[in-house]
Structure 1
Amino acid sequence: MTAVAAPLTTPRGPAAPAPELVDVIAGHRGRRSIWGRIPRPVRRMAGPVAILAVWTIGSTSGLLNTDLFPPPSDVAVTAWHLLTDGGLALHVGTSATRVLIGTALGITVGVILAVLAGLTRTGEDLLDWSMQILKAVPNFALTPLLIIWMGIGEGPKIVLITMGVAIAVYINTYSGIRGVDQQLVEMAQTLEARRGTLITQVILPGAMPNFLVGLRLGLSSAWLSLIFAEMINTTEGIGFLMSRAQTNLQFDVSLLVIVIYAVLGLASYALVRLLERLLLSWRNGFAGFEATA
């Protein structure tokens, strides 16, 4: 018998990564571009600075009618005058107080209703359709009714803001509760976790990202609701300041109020981003690609 020689085989090294993976790795390890080396807070200011630059160039070049669209310098002077006489601090403080009260009440109501509707089918049957109806009704449509029911005091203003926040928080928190993976719930039940433990350790943490989305939308809704709320027979607040400026054709004051709304809205957004970093530190989400050279 003749021995049959085994075919010679060359030892194989580790499998070569796919071309797409090589591109991703190369892009990840590539040298960061000049834009990527700039600190993130500075890069985030690029958009607002660009808007301010376009506004300034348009005013100084004559593209914008300065009588109808005053330049940033005029708005800054107006802001300084209002700040020195105490009027600006009074109006901003009054509006901020209304938003804080309405937001606190809205978060409380929205979370309680979302938990009741999300955890139990009976709660869903009783609450969900009602909240969906309120979601479809514009806040300003309720203003005349609130005045009739509650008068012209602070009540209707707080209620409008509370409703705007509560609806946004409810919709997103309820969706987050119902979006928790059923397998996680079954696994906890298999380990004989108590219902309270299941709710506090599995369901509510799983719904936290959606709650924060609802909070972000709720804060935006709070400032929008404030505009309508402060049209209800009020003599204080940035909404009143805007209404009086429009009546007296004070375009510099109108632009100042818009800037104030933008700054307050941006501050609210930054607050929610901070809460996301603190409360969702366990989540390793996609952060976007970094610009490379």
Structure 2
Amino acid sequence: MSGGFSRSAWRLPVLALFALFALSGCSLLWGPQQAPIVDATVMPVEPASAPVAASEPEPVETEAARPEQPKKPPKPIVKPHKVEPPPPVVAPPPPPPTPAPLIVLRTIERSEARTLLDSEVQKPDGKVVGRAVDLIADAGGKPREMVVNLQGFLGVGDRKVNFPWSAFRFTPSAKTAPIMLNAAAVPANAAAKSAGVQLPLIDATVERANGAKVGRVIDVLIDSNAQPQAVVLDVNGMVSTERRTIAANWSALHFVTKNKELHPQIDLSDAQINATPPYASDKPVRAVSPAPPPAPAAATAPPAATASAAAGSNARAAR
């Protein structure tokens, strides 16, 4: 062959290389072995781990497959409560006072009292001797005499005679002759008349303390004990323009001496007179008196003191 090495030429080195490896292997088996020299810079290569078998996929629960759980209510948020003192107790304002009445009325039944004027006067034997025409009272309001119009024959010879009040007896329930004159009664003498200032009451003008006129006395009501109970007053032209009469309690009258004359007075204002029911001869008498003045109001604690006292009592109750 031309060019290159011959086949026998490259075989010799190969055989020599195999012989060398064979001799080195025999030394490892039969003689001490020398530790191989390891390069410190070369890191050992870990053998590849065995492949891990793939795990089966876990089942995934869907919303449709999962049963619906009841929702728990949210827990309430409890905030610490601050204890505050109770508010002061404010007492309600007192109700307005009831307005004081203008007048006081007293009912007098017709069987309990009889009008004096023009009532028949008889003697114990039943004979009518005349009619009562007036009552004379003293400064204390006590009846002293009665004036009787003694009748004559056919109206001729009529005369007015004053008899002591004690000489009469009264029967208000009697239909006729309600006044009985004692058979032994004698006319009042001049000495009795001069005992003090006296006042014929019929047609007397009743005034107020300031001198204003209230009305004119047109009659007097007497009970079975011979005590005056009321006077009938004509207030026409005094308070209103209409014809009107009222009854006033005898106890509401008082008598005052002026210029050696006796004057009856009563403390009735125009409003009180207008509030009085009218007098009627065929109905029970409604006698008027002025209403008493209202009693002074009791002293009350101020609202602040009342509230503080109430708050103190609440605090003591809480403890």
Q: TM-score, normalised by structure 1?
A: 0.20
More helix by share: 1
More strand by share: 2
Q: TM-score, normalised by structure 2?
A: 0.19
Greater C-alpha Rg: 2
